Amino acid sequence: MSTVTKQDPPRRAPARRSQEERSDATRRRIVQSAMRLLHKKGFRATNLQDIARGAKVTLGALQHHFANRQVLMERLIDEVMAPLSDDGVVWPPPELPLEQRAREFVRLAWQTIYGVPSYVAAWSLFFGCKATPELFARIDANRARSDPVFFERFITSFPEIEANHANPKQFAGFVFASLRGMGVFDLFDIAQEEVEGQLDVLVQTIVQAGLPRV
């Protein structure tokens, strides 16, 4: 009787990335390198040579993707503003009780936007671009689009505040201003328990704003 040997199926060669995929990956490394340097060194000290070195590409390769520093900074502005324009990233389930909803909102906002290193890098970029009218106008236009979206979504997520607070939109602005301030203050060596305590105070402030006034 002959024995039939079962052969393993031929291995597929790993799919080769397309030129566009390789270009996207290179641009991503350049952007990430620029963000790290902004966080570490600030806007003025961040130059194209250091960015290229951090991304492990030549200066010529960097300039192939971003013709000059302003073009790269425009891309960074879009990158750092994107989370602030996403109206779905920080909003808790609407069925949660008020305090749980407030706690979940503050946690998500801090962990995904305001308490991450890229947020400090964003402010370095914002301050640095103040002297460049074209770049600052781009930032201001993004802010003008995103702020009303966030304020409105906050009020929608906390209908108790709209029902019980005299100025719900102004209160929403106060909440986000508090988170922004804490994010910028994270430049310094702040104890984790102090940060958590301030976030808890913000949670309780939101809860109090949603309670009926006596």
Name the one residue in this structure whose structure tokens are 């000290």: 45
Are the C-beta atoms of residues 59 and 33 closer than 8 Å to each other? no
- Higher pLDDT residue, 160 or 114? 160
Domain ranges of the chain: 19-67, 79-210
- The pLDDT of residue 96: 96
Q: Does domain 79-210 have CATH number 1.10.10?
A: no
Question: What is the 8-class DSSP label of residue 187?
Answer: T
- For 45-77, write each residue's pLDDT tens digit: 889 999 999 999 999 999 999 988 888 888 888
Are the C-beta atoms of residues 33 and 66 closer than 8 Å to each other? no
Q: What's the average model confidence in pLDDT over 102-114?
A: 93
Residue 1 has pLDDT above 50, yes or no: no
What percent of the chain lies above the pLDDT cut of 70? 89
- Cα within 13 Å of Cα(184), Cβ side: 10
Confidence category of residue 88, pLDDT binned at 50, 70, 90: low
- The pLDDT of residue 53: 94
In the chain, helix, strand, coil percent, each to 5? 70, 0, 30
- For 183-202, write each residue's pLDDT tens digit: 888 778 889 999 999 999 99
Are the C-beta atoms of residues 155 and 171 closer than 8 Å to each other? no
Q: Does domain 19-67 have CATH number 1.10.10.60?
A: yes
